[in-house]
Structure 1
Amino acid sequence: MFSSLRIRNYRLFAGGQMVSNTGTWMQRIAQDWLVLTLTGSSAAVGITTALQFLPMLLLGLYGGVIADRLPKRRLLLVTQSAMGLTGLALAGLTLSGHVQVWHVYLMALLLGLATVVDNPARQAFVAEMVGPRDLRNAVSLNSANFQSARLIGPAVAGVLISAVGSGWAFLANGLSFLAPIAALLLMRRDDLHEVEPTPRGKGQLRDGLRHVAGRPELLWPIVLVGFIGTFGFNFPIWLTAFVDEVFHGDAGTYGLLNTLMAAGSLAGALLAARRGTSRLRLLVGAALLFGLLEITAAAAPVFWLFALLLVPIGMFGMTINVTANSTVQLAADPAMRGRVMSLYMMVFMGGTPLGAPLVGWITDAYGARTGFLAGGLISAGAALAVGLMLARIGGLRLKVDLRRGRPRVAFVERAPRKKQKQLAAMV
């Protein structure tokens, strides 16, 4: 489960990211609650989320080109520093009492611009630290790291917001970036599996898109996470609305719900770290169950049932993320990994500017339950559609055996061609 941690560079990276991720989750909770306090609108929370991810939608592919062209460790030193400065700026505005909602919007946008380059560089840098053999385990542990911070960050943020206000959470996040910067500086360059940077040239973005379009094992996982990232992962909107309108809670209640979801996500990440391989059927099945659980939670009549359902929602959501991420990274050509991962992150995170305002409007107009229900229906529908498409391309058919004593439902091959056999093995 923890095999990647035997590598010194990755241990440094994981420790720095744990500190930084905790600060990031503190800021996310504080930011959502501050916007809701300033405006009283779920749609405003959606706009903040949209602005943070809008640069990824518009510029994400160019971030991947930059990540492939430049040494990734040096690039991460720049992006992590820039992200820390946005937290410190928001802390100064809030603690001085001058913060307005447009300040939050601006900082969210600037953070998004830094993320355009940081995300593909950081995703591809994992392979350079651990090599292909430990890549799947390292991706899973990165997710476990992120979700462990999600357990701590919201709880600490809830206490800070209730006791002294949002500004201190922003300050903690800004200072937390000192940890990953120090980790990057302390790494041994000779131990890295560095990929030679791609020389500047024409058509590199198109080359990356053609690489994905010609590989179903890359294309369809990206399509699926695009739908789920756009419509199924709008939890800041839904949870603030449920806390405020349905269960009439406060910032502490909001932090508790995020912590419960993080507990499920952490379990999902650790289970993924134990798996030796990940199949595409696992990705599709997890996405289907994720959508069905969101539909169930939307109708939960009491707080405790809604809160408990967030645990498996977090677990299956993380299973989707880890399985898709590791599948795409391992299937991509190393020289194009930055561009492929930028496309992956663009559709996963960059779809939020399209989905968040729409979901926020539905939530404001028709209520929190309807907004959550819509996200679940779209996620489940996308899982079914992508699953059927992968089965068709892979030359698979559904076989149902209901003989007494051995009921069985499975996909079986139908005399596939060579390329279909390769995809069928992954499914």
Structure 2
Amino acid sequence: MPRSESETPPLWRNRDYNLWWGGSAVSQLGSGVSQLAYPLLILGVADSASAAGIVAACANIGYLGASIPAGVAADRVSRRVLLIVSSVVQLVLMAAVGLAVAGGHVWVPQIAVTALVQGVMSALHQAATTPALRRIVAPAQLKVAFAREQARDMGTQLAGSPLGGLLFGLARWIPFVFDAVSYLFVTLAALFIRSPLGPDRAEEKTAEPTSVRQDVGEGLRFLRRDSFLRFLLLWAALSNCTLAGLAFMFVVALRHHGASASVIGTSESIVMACGLLGALAAGRIVRRVSGFQIVVTMSWLMVAGTLGVAALVARPWPAALCFGSLVFFMTPLNVTFEARMAATVPDRIAGRVMMTTSMAAQSLKWLAPLVCGALADRFSPTAPILGLAAVFALLAVAIHLTPALRRFDDAPHTGDDTGLAAPDAAPEPATPETAGRDAEPAR
């Protein structure tokens, strides 16, 4: 019988959660280091924003293409095994990149293929993460756990960007070896967690086995029930695509104006610092501001912030503050979204629903680096940034014209016309929810 909230020990006494949180923190730090090093490496070797965009797009395409199969796997195969295998493969990949860079044999197609495989492994890892976390944390503590993971990821990215710039300045191969070692920690964390991570399919042993297609359809039917959720997925796809373009062009534009690797890393750390502040303030914000107001405010701040980046890109610190303001207001939205979904989706279909949602939200994200890189090469880095501001403006207008968003703050409907079980726990009322891993705004 589930314990009441008053009987549940605080998270700081939860051994499995702290083990997972710590291992993931080290891994996220490594990812923050290599994410900055990747575009700097390609820009240094190929001197082409388009080439850097291709590598970034490959990682996104790999993640996107593997999302639904990964979700099915997370509901069929041991989640612990998925977490370990995906981490070990990425460890090997990053070590190989580090060796290639150290040996002076950097080949852009090789880096692109590596990024593609990494995207696939990231999808497998993410598919198992949220359902596994629900096994470690009590339902009443999900929002607290997600907010802490959001703060963790922002904090590691905050430290990862300047560290990545520093390590890249010392030697180009160091950031990639650093990232490879970091995957060892999250692998050990997954290995030593005591709680069973699922999935539990004992109740289905007497039922007729289902095909992968049937499993995917079951998850899609769950999502299809909510008209607002359907609109939100479309809006998130366009928003994430545009935001990915802005993040990519932020690095390219700073480099174009002569910023060093350490300056770029520090600028990105300013953006992440704003995100960390947003994560720390998320609890108060979502309790005091309605979800609809957060969505509207964030949408128009994206327009203002993007125009600010375009105008101030020759001055790294003010440009970083403009970009950071967007991330600050996005973080409370992410926290609310993810906790709501985790609380309402049954465990047996959690992998499929979470990854289908993630795939829809990121379905266009791979396109941004390609288009922005080509426009930057053809015109200037400022041109694609202004184009991104126009897209954000159209999205902001759409928010006001869409009646479904007026129901943003309504309690989620948990009835099931598809025959699915009711959610394991009802979400706490109020506020928008994080559809980005508890830890991260769209990447």
User: Given the two structures, how large is their TM-score scaled by the length of structure 2?
Assistant: 0.82
TM superposition shift of 1:143: 1.6
TM superposition shift of 1:195: 5.1
> Given the superposition, is the C-alpha separation of residues 258 and 6 from structure 1 closer, same or farther in structure 2, using an over 3 Å criterion?
same
Matches within 5 A, 1:236-275: 236-245=247-256, 247-274=257-284
Letter in 2 for 1:234: G
The answer (yes or no) to whether the contact 1:225–1:324 under 8 Å persists in 2 is no
Aligned counterpart, 1:176: 182
2:324 to 296, 311, 320: 311
TM superposition shift of 1:112: 0.9
Aligned counterpart, 1:146: 153
The answer (yes or no) to whether the contact 1:49–1:352 under 8 Å persists in 2 is no
TM superposition shift of 1:390: 4.7
TM superposition shift of 1:94: 0.9
Matches within 5 A, 1:310-349: 310-349=323-362
- State the distance in 1 between where 2:273 and 2:169 align: 22
The answer (yes or no) to whether the contact 2:165–2:261 under 8 Å persists in 1 is yes
Aligned counterpart, 1:204: 215
User: Is 1:232 aligned to residue 243 of structure 2?
Assistant: yes
Q: Can you list the C-alpha shifts for 1:249-287, whole angstroms capped at 9, x where unaligned? A: 111121111111110111112222456758531244323
User: Is 1:292 aligned to residue 301 of structure 2?
Assistant: no
- State the distance in 2 between where 1:137 and 1:383 align: 29
3-state SS of 1:201 partner = coil
3-state SS of 2:200 partner = coil
Aligned counterpart, 2:113: 106
> Given the superposition, is the C-alpha separation of residues 426 and 34 from structure 1 closer, same or farther in structure 2, using an over 3 Å criterion?
closer
TM superposition shift of 1:36: 0.7
- Percent identity over paired residues: 23
Aligned counterpart, 1:91: 98
Letter in 2 for 1:99: V
- State the distance in 1 between where 2:431 and 2:320 align: 35
> Given the superposition, is the C-alpha separation of residues 337 and 275 from structure 1 closer, same or farther in structure 2, using an over 3 Å criterion?
farther
Letter in 2 for 1:76: L
Q: Can you list the C-alpha shifts for 1:188-212, whole angstroms capped at 9, x where unaligned? A: 226x6x5524865131111211211
- State the distance in 2 between where 1:293 and 1:136 align: 28
Structure 2 residues without counterparts, runs of 5 or longer: 1-8, 417-426, 433-443
> Given the superposition, is the C-alpha separation of residues 121 and 367 from structure 1 closer, same or farther in structure 2, using an over 3 Å criterion?
same
User: Is 1:216 aligned to residue 220 of structure 2?
Assistant: no
Letter in 2 for 1:201: T
The answer (yes or no) to whether the contact 1:283–1:323 under 8 Å persists in 2 is no
- State the distance in 1 between where 2:10 and 2:382 align: 42
The answer (yes or no) to whether the contact 2:79–2:199 under 8 Å persists in 1 is no
Aligned counterpart, 2:30: 23
- State the distance in 1 between where 2:308 and 2:163 align: 29
The answer (yes or no) to whether the contact 2:399–2:405 under 8 Å persists in 1 is no
- State the distance in 2 between where 1:228 and 1:313 align: 12
Moved over 6 A (4+): 424-427
> Given the superposition, is the C-alpha separation of residues 276 and 368 from structure 1 closer, same or farther in structure 2, using an over 3 Å criterion?
closer
> Given the superposition, is the C-alpha separation of residues 114 and 285 from structure 1 closer, same or farther in structure 2, using an over 3 Å criterion?
same
TM superposition shift of 1:221: 2.9
Aligned counterpart, 1:360: 373
TM superposition shift of 1:216: 2.9
Structure 1 residues without counterparts, runs of 5 or longer: 397-410, 413-417
Letter in 2 for 1:211: F
TM superposition shift of 1:87: 0.8
The answer (yes or no) to whether the contact 1:232–1:378 under 8 Å persists in 2 is no
Greater CA drift, 21-30 or 178-187: 178-187
- State the distance in 1 between where 2:139 and 2:109 align: 44
The answer (yes or no) to whether the contact 1:205–1:339 under 8 Å persists in 2 is yes
TM superposition shift of 1:350: 4.0
Matches within 5 A, 1:338-417: 338-386=351-399, 388-391=401-404, 394=407
> Given the superposition, is the C-alpha separation of residues 66 and 386 from structure 1 closer, same or farther in structure 2, using an over 3 Å criterion?
farther
Q: Can you list the C-alpha shifts for 1:364-407, whole angstroms capped at 9, x where unaligned? A: 3232222122223323422442454354674x9xxxxxxxxxxx
1:115 to 94, 114, 122: 122
3-state SS of 2:366 partner = helix
Q: CA RMSD in A?
A: 2.9
- State the distance in 1 between where 2:61 and 2:125 align: 15
> Given the superposition, is the C-alpha separation of residues 97 and 64 from structure 1 closer, same or farther in structure 2, using an over 3 Å criterion?
same
- State the distance in 2 between where 1:287 and 1:327 align: 21
Greater CA drift, 370-379 or 84-93: 370-379
- State the distance in 2 between where 1:174 and 1:387 align: 45
3-state SS of 1:233 partner = helix
- State the distance in 1 between where 2:375 and 2:341 align: 33
Q: Can you list the C-alpha shifts for 1:155-209, whole angstroms capped at 9, x where unaligned? A: 111111112x22111001001111111112221226x6x5524865131111211
Aligned counterpart, 1:406: none
Aligned counterpart, 2:440: none
The answer (yes or no) to whether the contact 1:65–1:204 under 8 Å persists in 2 is yes
- State the distance in 2 between where 1:393 and 1:312 align: 25
Matches within 5 A, 1:66-77: 66-77=73-84
Name the count of aligned residue pairs: 399
> Given the superposition, is the C-alpha separation of residues 345 and 389 from structure 1 closer, same or farther in structure 2, using an over 3 Å criterion?
same
User: Given the two structures, how large is their TM-score scaled by the length of structure 1?
Assistant: 0.85
- State the distance in 1 between where 2:188 and 2:405 align: 49
The answer (yes or no) to whether the contact 1:218–1:328 under 8 Å persists in 2 is no
- State the distance in 2 between where 1:120 and 1:297 align: 34
Letter in 1 for 2:338: N
TM superposition shift of 1:53: 1.1
